[in-house]
Amino acid sequence: MIESQPLRNAKLPPPVEPGGEPKQPHLIIRPSSGWAALNLRQIWLYRDLLMTLALRDVKLRYRQTALGAIWVVLQPLLGAGVLSFVFNRVADVPTGDAPAFLFAFVGMLAFTAFSSTLTKASSSLVGNAQLVSKVFFPRLVLPLSTVLSTLVDFAVSLTVLFVLMLLYRIAPGPQLLLLPLWLGLILLLSLGCGLIAGALMVSYRDVQYVLPVVVNLLTFASPVAYAASFAASKLPDGLQPFYFILNPLAGLLEAFRWSVLGGGEVQWGYVAYSSVFALLLFLAGAFAFRKMERKFADVI
């Protein structure tokens, strides 16, 4: 038993060590306001959680599906088949030297990396509402952990791509080494969008319904099955740059395809613009997320 009396309204001095120096607390909890630091150190401390959650997503993805990993292969193949048929055969859009199917497949590969990260990252908070309201951890871990399952899918599709290139007898050039750079930038861009969308989705579930529509529109508005320069050339004079400026994904998709297939007319100015845009959007998304995350547990 301790000899404590009711402590109501007692103003106590801070705890003091025998030596007379106030003891350092392990943690101080206070209300905060304004912008918060990203606190990467804390995310690093929780890296095991990040990995565990990422592995959970990968494992769960194909458990209790009959065809398992085959879906990862089939999805881009079917997508590329339909797109190349519509754009190349029906609409007669040129794809340069590259075979139309391969052209569309590479586009799909890059676009899927973007769209699946965006979709998964943005729904990661609402999908794990129980965790958010019951456990403390750096909230950024949730959207970041979704990247791994996208990467696994990407690796599988990339293997399929190399098999296709072998069949078409197309050898990649040295520019292939830049592929990870473009992939990284595409992921930053989609994470930037995903962080903002995810944070908004906590309060407004509309985002959940709007996002698939946006992704769907983007499939056609982005140079997935056609070359960006071809689409831009169809716009009235003077408006061509807007094709690239309004859709920062365009420059990155072009660069990605150039890395794999070579050739084509890549407009490097716009690629640089897209790259800077991706970096800034990611940072803006991360800071906005950190600012909004204080309300998550109360609102979700």
Partner 1 sequence: MSSKDIAVSVRGLSKSYTIAHNVEKHSTMGEAMLHRFKNPLQRAEKETFWALRDVEFDIEQGDVVGIIGRNGAGKSTLLKILSQITEPTKGEIKLYGRVGSLLEVGTGFHPELTGRENIFLNGAILGMRRAEIDKQFDAIVDFSEVENFLDTPVKRYSSGMYVRLAFAVAAHLNPEILIIDEVLAVGDAEFQKKCLGKMQDVSSREGKTVVFVSHNMGAVRGLCSSAIWLKNGQLLDYGPTSTVINSYLSSSAEHSKGFIDLKQEPRLHGWGERFKICGLSLNNGMPLMHGQPVSVAINFESTGSIQDVVVGLGISTLEGVRLLTYESRYLGENKDINQNTKGTISAQMECYLHPGQYSLDIGAGAGDTEVIDYLPACSIIEILPGPNTPHGLYDTFASVRLPAEWNWVTTQ
Could you tell me if 259 and 176 are in contact, meaning their C-beta atoms sit under 8 angstroms apart?
A: yes
In the complex with partner 1, which residue's Cβ is closer, 8 or 169? 8
Q: Which of 40, 44, 60, 65 binds partner 1 (CB under 8 A)?
A: 60
Residue 211-230 contact track with partner 1, rule CB under 8 A, x = bound: --------------------
Shortest reach from residue 143's CB to partner 1, in Å:
16
The reply to whether 37 sits near partner 1 by the rule CB under 8 A is: no
Instruction: Please say whether the beta carbons of 75 and 165 come within 8 A.
Output: no
Q: Which of residues 86-145 bind partner 1 (CB under 8 A)?
A: 128, 130-137
Note whether 34 binds partner 1 by CB under 8 A.
no
- Piece in contact with partner 1 (CB under 8 A), picked from 25-33, 67-75, 146-154, 212-220: 25-33
CA distance 117 to 111: 10
118: closest CA among 293, 294, 278, 227? Answer: 278
Determine the Cα–Cα distance for residues 84 and 90; give it in Å rounded to an integer.
9
- Is 56 near partner 1 (CB under 8 A)? yes
Rounded to whole angstroms, the Cα distance separating 48 from 122 reads: 21
By CB under 8 A, is residue 20 in contact with partner 1?
A: no
Sorted by sequence, the CB contacts under 8 Å of residue 241 that are 6+ apart come out as 232, 270
Q: Which residues contact 299 (CB under 8 A, 6 or more apart)?
A: 202, 203
**Shortest Cβ 129–partner 1 spacing (Å):** 11
Residue numbers at the binding site for partner 1 (CB under 8 A)? 1-12, 14-15, 18, 23, 25-32, 46, 48-49, 51-53, 56, 59-60, 63-64, 128, 130-137, 204-207, 294, 297-298
